[in-house]
């Protein structure tokens, strides 16, 4: 709201200046300088959760040096409670599980299988360390260490019922109690076997976490999980008391190494990759607890940011992350929303002209760089008949008759702002902002509006370019050119001109934007555009072009994000 007031005031001043009155412009708010310090250097990334939570999850240490068992506290600090030299683990819910053909099932599969019962004989003695309990395991066949509510125990056998465990305790002569753990319990077995290695049940206080151990090289170890390789530790939480939510606890820099390759080609110039790395890191830091109800920060899909571990990481993307380590994009000391998209086709757009909110650093800029690279979407054109438009609107649920006219309005940057369709009965439908760019996108018709950067003309070529009328339609300014207000002291400020007002002796009057407001009629409408995406924030192809032209990642970020600080 603050921004809107500021802009309104500026517009009035512009109008005054334009009509020959002197005007003093207030200085733009200056950005605060200073480094942003991310308090969350460990991120929690959800890999399987909700309906996709798993009954069992495997994990393999790629350097073959085993794992440490433990849990993360509220401050995301790891507390060790056990360990194994085994390099291939499967974490499973404490449940009667079945092993068949090398896979685990939580219901008996058809064919032959081995069962891993969830009833055990717990030896009647509490231990004060993992090592102490582990030593005692030697005295019992099929035994393992269990961490139950803050203490260590020796458990023997895995039985499918309480009675079976009770009988076994008697027959084996063990001074122990048949038991099954809580619905929060997770059991660890050696992958591909029924051998239990460890059990963790801390009720709702904490969930099992497994941290790969380093080998002698001291290198940051990676683990394999379902075909992907990851840095960091894994947490196995049974939030619902049922299946396991798998969360990767990972250092923010390692996380960014797993995001950049999914957002930008790792062969692109290093400065473009560095700009992308800062965006990805900033996005993560500003979306801590995005999935708090599932116990993690960000998911691994495009809902948050695509992240699949390190498989796709390249030398360039890793280097880009290392060389920008700890760098965040801020505006007035606060983390930015780092919107980006593929290509702008010539101009980015003010955030409020695409989405709702006016964000001060998401301003439209004319982009002179993108033209130097092949975006694959530099020039696209689709002809829509009036029938096509009518059909598309009907398909999208609008109860219209034959469409007879189209009225486009454009922003100062020459991007689409609104599209109004009028039907033969005189009824009309207006689509604004992002909806203006998406309403005519139709897979059924094979016609696509790929970005905000397009114009509508009739089959005869009428319409198109937008411009600002000042005195009359014959005396116009081209709105693709920036408009400035000049103050009495010579200060210059660019005027955002999506709605410009003039103060005259008779009060306030509006200036109109040409193309804007002009109603086009006919049987054919030609949509000519360029670019791909929503046009707010950084153009990735523009970043590539700038990098190839010798600009740094800081130049790139400051070009696409107005008035930001990098640090
Ligand atoms: Zn998400």
pLDDT digits (tens, 9 = 90+) for 34-51: 578 888 899 999 999 999
Last residue of a domain, one of 199, 230, 251: 251
pLDDT reported for residue 58: 96
Q: Which residue has the tokens 């942003």?
A: 36
Q: How far is the CA of 284 from the centre of ligand 1 (A)?
A: 11
414 lies in a domain?
yes
pLDDT reported for residue 470: 43
213 lies in a domain?
yes
Q: What percent of the chain has pLDDT over 90?
A: 79
Last residue of a domain, one of 251, 268, 286: 251
- Are residue 244 and residue 392 in the same domain, yes or no? no
Q: How far is the CA of 263 from the centre of ligand 1 (A)?
A: 15
Q: How far is the CA of 323 from the centre of ligand 1 (A)?
A: 27
389 lies in a domain?
yes
Give yes or no for residue 95 having a pLDDT over 60.
yes
Mean pLDDT of the chain, nearest integer: 88
Give yes or no for residue 80 having a pLDDT over 60.
yes
Region 251-265 average pLDDT: 96
Contacts of residue 283, defined as CB under 8 A and 6 or more positions apart, other chains included, come to 304, 305, 337, 338
Q: How far is the CA of 290 from the centre of ligand 1 (A)?
A: 7
Contacts of residue 315, defined as CB under 8 A and 6 or more positions apart, other chains included, come to 266
**Both tokens assigned to 537:** 């924030």
Q: How far is the CA of 43 from the centre of ligand 1 (A)?
A: 13
Q: How far is the CA of 109 from the centre of ligand 1 (A)?
A: 34
Give yes or no for residue 503 having a pLDDT over 80.
no
pLDDT reported for residue 459: 83
Give yes or no for residue 346 having a pLDDT over 60.
yes
In terms of pTM, does the model score above 0.75?
yes
Q: How far is the CA of 46 from the centre of ligand 1 (A)?
A: 8
Give yes or no for residue 20 having a pLDDT over 60.
no
Quick count: other Cβ atoms within 10 Å of Cβ 486? 16
- Are residue 235 and residue 92 in the same domain, yes or no? yes
Give yes or no for residue 508 having a pLDDT over 80.
no
pLDDT reported for residue 472: 39
Q: How far is the CA of 228 from the centre of ligand 1 (A)?
A: 19
Region 441-448 average pLDDT: 97
268 lies in a domain?
no
501 lies in a domain?
no
Task: Report the number of distinct structural domains present in the chain.
Answer: 2
Residues 366 and 351: their CA atoms lie apart, in Å, by 14
Residues 247 and 244: their CA atoms lie apart, in Å, by 9
Q: How far is the CA of 286 from the centre of ligand 1 (A)?
A: 13
| DSSP E strand boundaries for 374-464 | 380-385, 403-410, 416-423, 428-432, 454-458
Domain limits for position 178:
43-251
Residues 352 and 355: their CA atoms lie apart, in Å, by 5
Give yes or no for residue 491 having a pLDDT over 70.
no
- Sorting pLDDT into bands at 50, 70 and 90, what band is 104? very high
258 lies in a domain?
no
Q: How far is the CA of 305 from the centre of ligand 1 (A)?
A: 7
Q: What percent of the chain has pLDDT over 70?
A: 84
Q: How far is the CA of 413 from the centre of ligand 1 (A)?
A: 32
- Are residue 244 and residue 393 in the same domain, yes or no? no
pLDDT reported for residue 461: 81
138 lies in a domain?
yes
- Residue 391 region, left (φ>0) first, then alpha (ψ -120 to 50), else beta? alpha
Length of the chain: 567
pLDDT reported for residue 488: 53
- Are residue 241 and residue 94 in the same domain, yes or no? yes
pLDDT reported for residue 323: 98
Region 456-460 average pLDDT: 89
CA dihedral 225, 230, 232, 233 (to 10 degrees): -10
Q: How far is the CA of 301 from the centre of ligand 1 (A)?
A: 6
- Are residue 96 and residue 240 in the same domain, yes or no? yes
Q: How far is the CA of 414 from the centre of ligand 1 (A)?
A: 33
Q: How far is the CA of 225 from the centre of ligand 1 (A)?
A: 20
- The stretches of 448-508 forming alpha helices (DSSP H) are none
- Are residue 99 and residue 236 in the same domain, yes or no? yes
- Are residue 66 and residue 215 in the same domain, yes or no? yes
- Sorting pLDDT into bands at 50, 70 and 90, what band is 517? low
Q: Which residue has the tokens 């957002």?
A: 263
pLDDT reported for residue 489: 55
Last residue of a domain, one of 210, 235, 251: 251
Q: How far is the CA of 187 from the centre of ligand 1 (A)?
A: 28
553 lies in a domain?
no
Q: How far is the CA of 45 from the centre of ligand 1 (A)?
A: 9
Region 471-486 average pLDDT: 50
Q: How far is the CA of 303 from the centre of ligand 1 (A)?
A: 4
């Amino acid at each position: 709201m603050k921004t809107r007031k500021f802009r309104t005031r500026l517009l009035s001043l512009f109008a005054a200046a334009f009509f020959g009155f002197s005007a003093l412009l207030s200085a733009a708010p200056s950005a605060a300088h200073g480094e942003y310090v991310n308090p969350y250097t460990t991120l929690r990334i959800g890999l399987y959760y909700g309906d996709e939570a798993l009954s069992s999850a495997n994990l393999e240490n790629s350097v073959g040096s085993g794992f440490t068992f433990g849990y993360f506290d509220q401050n995301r600090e790891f507390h060790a409670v056990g360990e194994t030299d085994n390099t291939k683990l499967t974490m499973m819910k404490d449940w009667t599980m079945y092993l068949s053909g090398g896979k685990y099932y939580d219901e008996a599969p058809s064919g032959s299988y081995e069962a891993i019962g969830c009833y055990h004989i717990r030896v009647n003695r509490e231990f004060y360390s993992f090592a102490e309990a582990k030593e005692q395991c030697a005295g019992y066949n099929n035994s393992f260490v269990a961490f139950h509510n803050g203490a260590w125990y020796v458990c023997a056998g895995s039985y499918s019922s309480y009675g079976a465990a009770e009988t076994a305790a008697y027959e084996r002569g063990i001074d122990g109690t048949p038991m099954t753990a809580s619905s929060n319990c997770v059991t660890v077995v050696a992958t591909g076997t029924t051998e239990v290695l460890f059990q963790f049940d801390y009720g709702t206080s904490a969930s099992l976490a497994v941290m790969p151990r380093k080998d002698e090289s001291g290198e940051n170890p990676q683990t394999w999980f379902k075909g992907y390789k990851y840095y960091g530790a894994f947490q196995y939480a049974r939030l619902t008391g049922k299946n396991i939510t798998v969360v990767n606890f990972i250092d923010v820099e390692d996380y960014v190494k797993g995001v950049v390759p999914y957002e930008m080609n790792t062969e692109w110039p290093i400065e473009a990759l560095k700009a992308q790395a800062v965006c990805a890191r900033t996005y993560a830091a500003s979306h801590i607890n995005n999935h708090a109800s599932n116990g993690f920060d960000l998911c691994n899909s495009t809902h948050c940011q695509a992240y699949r571990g390190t498989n796709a990481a390249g030398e360039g993307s890793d280097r880009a992350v290392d060389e920008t380590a700890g760098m965040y994009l801020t505006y007035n000391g606060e983390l930015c929303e780092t919107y980006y998209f593929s290509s702008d086709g010539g101009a980015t757009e003010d955030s409020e002209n695409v989405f709702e909110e006016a964000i001060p650093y998401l301003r439209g800029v004319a982009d002179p760089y993108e033209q130097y690279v092949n975006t694959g979407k530099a020039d696209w054109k689709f002809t829509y008949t009036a029938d096509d438009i009518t059909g598309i609107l009907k398909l999208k649920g609008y109860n219209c008759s034959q469409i007879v006219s189209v009225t486009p309005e454009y922003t100062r940057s020459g991007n689409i702002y609104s599209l109004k369709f009028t039907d033969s009965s005189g009824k009309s439908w207006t689509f604004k902002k992002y909806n203006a760019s998406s309403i005519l996108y139709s897979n059924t018709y094979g016609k696509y509006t790929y970005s905000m950067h397009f114009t509508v003309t009739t089959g005869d070529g009428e319409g198109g370019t937008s411009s600002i009328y000042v005195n009359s339609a014959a005396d116009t300014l081209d709105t693709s050119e920036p408009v400035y207000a000049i103050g009495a002291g010579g200060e210059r400020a660019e005027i955002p001109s999506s709605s410009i007002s003039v103060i005259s002796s008779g009060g306030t009057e509006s200036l109109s934007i040409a193309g804007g407001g002009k109603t086009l009629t006919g049987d054919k409408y030609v949509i000519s555009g360029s670019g791909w995406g929503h046009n707010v924030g950084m153009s990735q192809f523009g970043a590539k072009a700038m990098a190839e032209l010798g600009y740094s990642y800081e130049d790139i970020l400051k070009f696409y994000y107005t008035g930001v600080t990098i640090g």
